[in-house]
Chains A and B, each alone.
Chain A
Amino acid sequence: MLDLDASLGERLGMEKIIEEALSGHVGETGGLITGLRHVQERCGFVPGETVRIAAELFNISQAEVRGVISFYADFRDAKPGQHHVRLCVAEACQSVGARAIEADLQDRFAVKMGETDAAEFITIEPVYCLGLCSCAPAAEVDGKLIARVDGQRIADEVSS
């Protein structure tokens, strides 16, 4: 019983956070997308409850909210690992070895591109261009941009 109450309390807390993150953007141009970003900033991902709460607040259907969340690559439906790596896999980075780095990272951390490892230590996602094409290959590790990157540098970054 105690556990159940705790999880209910947690859920209510989560709902409150979601509502707070969204409510300031109702009526704003493109407010749903901005609101969803704030939900993700607060929660680390976009929790399922967001669909119902956003639909009520923005006065649109739940299908529309779900449609927006699923359309944009930025929105995640699960918490990422402790470290979040985005590796650029677009052409300019390919021309200087991005594919090899991708293979290296998958080996090193035993995780597939787009997934989180079993220990929830690291999430590796592809990104299509960070605008660092003149000093490729590029990656973003826990929000930090790194140019002329390789697998070792990413490993050093997440273990430091």
Chain B
Amino acid sequence: MSKQRVYVPLDSAAVALGADDVVDAILAEAHSRKVEIEIVRNGSRGMHWLEPFVEVEVDGKRLGFGPIEAADVSSMFDADFLNGGTHEKSVGFVDDHPFMADQQRLTFARCGQTDPLSFEDYIANGGVEGARKASGKSQEEIVTEIKTSGLRGRGGAGFPAGIKWDTVQGASGDQKYIVCNADEGDSGTFADRMIMEGDPLLLIEGMVIAGLGVGATKGYIYLRSEYPIAGRILNEAIEVAKANNLLGDDVLGSGKAFELSVFIGAGAYICGEETSLLESLEGKRGLVRAKPPLPALEGLFGKPTLVHNVLSLCAVPWILANGGDAYAQYGQGRSKGTLAFQFAGNIKQGGLFETAFGVKLGDLINKYGGGTRSGRAFKAVQIGGPLGAYLPEAMLELPMDYEVMAQNGAGVGHGGIVVFDDTADLMAQARYAFEFCAEESCGKCTPCRVGAVRGEEVIDKLAAGTNYDENMVLLEDLCELMVDGSLCAMGGMTPIPVTSALKHFPDDFAPRHVREAAE
């Protein structure tokens, strides 16, 4: 009989909650009880409130236990958890858990289920099918599949992927590149990290298909330095992919080459902006470039470059394996497919929930997220990262859809959902938006560089009640100028959290002495 497998995630969230200690405790306990086991460090299922989440396989189904501390391990062995014995931390079969059962996992289907670095596991669970199909297609056929799918850039901008692919494919150049933007700096987002740690071969396969589709032979993953575990896993996965012919001179026998490497950034939020990222990848300061020229035509080292977010590329293998039409069946309107929503901040059930576009914001927060973690009243939610809008309870009925959100002054962004309870001060959050912009602005354009600092000053004056009405006019004027005059989204979108906070939570913007008197 083969050794019983025990799954304990290697995911950063699990590790930050003590997963490594749990592994040590399980190994020690198994050793002293003379039980033969094999530890598999899987990705996370995304139920982070249950991390470290330990799983075993019983009758072909996975049984979960969490959150597990090292101190629980002995009692788990006492309860014979390896064979499905009941324990107070048991949450039953993982697939039947309400949080999992209601998801539509296309991108995260394998995440948490498999050994991230096992090619065998990858193939046995549907991996490489997309790349195999792509290797038998022409470039035009591959690009058409992406167009049909309706996939839009998952990094935040939501630009139609097919148009980008078409442009790079049609561009002439002796060298073309695929660059993966893994500089996931938005607070409230961690989906890129999770998939890179939990199913890195998926990203590699997506990049290989992109290479075949647009005629690129080299790829780079631009990874932020704050993700050291993802970096280690990606580098190991690249070696696994090379050994199995998914990367190399003759990808899957197609006669086409594709090589891939990981580049680690050095702590700059702005490098998540694609042109800044390219400058950084060239070893320079991450200054934003003016567009045009588009990176699709003149990108890395001036060559045609397909720059995509991690999740855009990770959607590609499924699309090629199942067809663009099948992907477009998910979602609504012009928001096709699924999005990995990330529940963050003051939320009871923090984690990742992948489902089709169209799901109501309120359902995500309350039905699946379980409401606030503090148990206090909900006050606001910021969606789509530090450049996203703050929305009040009245807007929780809105469906997650690019166009609907845009009509309501908000954005889907990268799917991050940060919840705040009634202790939040939205004027402080608005000030922070400027503070963050001042900290992270690349400094190239004046509206962003100077505007951010002026914004902090104006909000401080509002709080102090200094020339209140004049400064309120100034704030609105400043926001308008930053939107219209900034070179990129950093300066251009910083006013969104500010103006949304002002619009939906005007009471928070009263001068400090007025607010204190009211309390």
Chain A interfacial positions (CB closer than 8 Å to B): 29-34, 36-37, 58, 64, 67-68, 71-75, 88, 90-96, 127-136, 138, 143, 145-148
Inter-chain contact A127/B226, CB cutoff 8 Å: yes
A-B contact pairs, 30 of them (CB 8 A): A29-B261, A29-B263, A29-B282, A30-B283, A33-B265, A33-B266, A33-B280, A34-B264, A37-B264, A71-B442, A72-B286, A74-B266, A91-B429, A91-B432, A92-B188, A92-B418, A96-B346, A128-B269, A128-B436, A128-B439, A129-B184, A129-B185, A129-B187, A130-B16, A131-B13, A131-B189, A132-B190, A133-B418, A134-B344, A138-B16
Tally of contacts, chain A with chain B, CB under 8 A: 153
Q: How far is the CA of A36 from the CA of B193 in the complex (A)?
A: 24
* B366 on the A face (CB < 8 A): no
Inter-chain contact B16/A132, CB cutoff 8 Å: yes
* Residues of B close to A74: CB separation below 8 A: 225, 266-267
* Residues of B close to A129: CB separation below 8 A: 184-187, 189, 226
Known interface pairs A71-B268, A91-B188, A91-B429; A132-B280 also in contact (CB < 8 Å): no
Q: How far is the CA of A43 from the CA of B403 in the complex (A)?
A: 50
* B350 on the A face (CB < 8 A): yes
Tell me the chain B residues, 43-86 only, with Cβ under 8 Å from chain A.
48-49, 51
* B382 on the A face (CB < 8 A): yes
* Residues of A close to B350: CB separation below 8 A: 133-136
Tell me the chain B residues, 260-298 only, with Cβ under 8 Å from chain A.
261, 263-269, 280-286
Inter-chain contact B345/A96, CB cutoff 8 Å: yes
* Residues of B close to A148: CB separation below 8 A: 17
Partner of B17, one of A67, A90, A135: A135
Most buried by B among A30, A36, A94: A30
CB distance from B61 to the nearest CB of A (A): 25
Partner of B418, one of A31, A67, A95: A95
Inter-chain contact A132/B12, CB cutoff 8 Å: yes
* B203 on the A face (CB < 8 A): no
Inter-chain contact A71/B342, CB cutoff 8 Å: no
Q: How far is the CA of A15 from the CA of B403 in the complex (A)?
A: 56
Inter-chain contact B266/A73, CB cutoff 8 Å: yes
Partner of B13, one of A29, A37, A90, A134: A134
Inter-chain contact A91/B418, CB cutoff 8 Å: yes
Known interface pairs A91-B382, A147-B16; A135-B193 also in contact (CB < 8 Å): no
Q: How far is the CA of A124 from the CA of B426 in the complex (A)?
A: 26
Tell me the chain B residues, 469-493 only, with Cβ under 8 Å from chain A.
none
* B220 on the A face (CB < 8 A): yes
* Residues of B close to A136: CB separation below 8 A: 344-345, 350
* Residues of A close to B12: CB separation below 8 A: 130-132, 145
Most buried by B among A31, A134, A143, A148: A134
Partner of A68, one of B267, B285, B429, B439: B285
* B227 on the A face (CB < 8 A): yes
CB distance from B125 to the nearest CB of A (A): 24
* Residues of A close to B282: CB separation below 8 A: 29-30
Interface size on B, residues (CB 8 A): 61
Q: How far is the CA of A134 from the CA of B382 in the complex (A)?
A: 14
* Residues of B close to A68: CB separation below 8 A: 283-285
Inter-chain contact A30/B345, CB cutoff 8 Å: no
* Residues of B close to A75: CB separation below 8 A: 266
Inter-chain contact A131/B352, CB cutoff 8 Å: no
CB distance from A48 to the nearest CB of B (A): 18
Tell me the chain B residues, 368-416 only, with Cβ under 8 Å from chain A.
373-374, 382, 386, 416
Inter-chain contact B283/A32, CB cutoff 8 Å: yes
Inter-chain contact A73/B268, CB cutoff 8 Å: yes
* Residues of A close to B421: CB separation below 8 A: 95
* B351 on the A face (CB < 8 A): yes
* B171 on the A face (CB < 8 A): no
Known interface pairs A68-B285, A71-B268, A135-B51; A92-B16 also in contact (CB < 8 Å): no
Q: Which 10 A-B pairs have the closest CB atoms?
A: A134-B350, A90-B187, A133-B344, A72-B266, A73-B267, A95-B345, A147-B16, A74-B267, A145-B16, A32-B283
Q: How far is the CA of A92 from the CA of B347 in the complex (A)?
A: 10
Partner of B373, one of A31, A36, A96, A145: A96
Inter-chain contact B17/A147, CB cutoff 8 Å: yes
* Residues of A close to B28: CB separation below 8 A: none
* Residues of A close to B283: CB separation below 8 A: 29-33, 58, 68
Inter-chain contact B420/A133, CB cutoff 8 Å: no
Q: How far is the CA of A30 from the CA of B418 in the complex (A)?
A: 34
* Residues of A close to B108: CB separation below 8 A: none
Partner of B185, one of A64, A94, A128: A128
CB distance from A44 to the nearest CB of B (A): 16
Inter-chain contact B429/A134, CB cutoff 8 Å: no
Known: A29-B261, A147-B13. 18 other contacts (CB 8 A): A29-B281, A30-B283, A68-B285, A71-B285, A72-B266, A72-B268, A72-B286, A73-B267, A91-B188, A92-B418, A94-B432, A127-B267, A128-B185, A128-B269, A128-B436, A133-B350, A134-B13, A135-B350
Q: How far is the CA of A93 from the CA of B382 in the complex (A)?
A: 13
Known interface pairs A68-B285, A134-B350; A92-B267 also in contact (CB < 8 Å): no
Inter-chain contact B281/A30, CB cutoff 8 Å: yes
* B502 on the A face (CB < 8 A): no
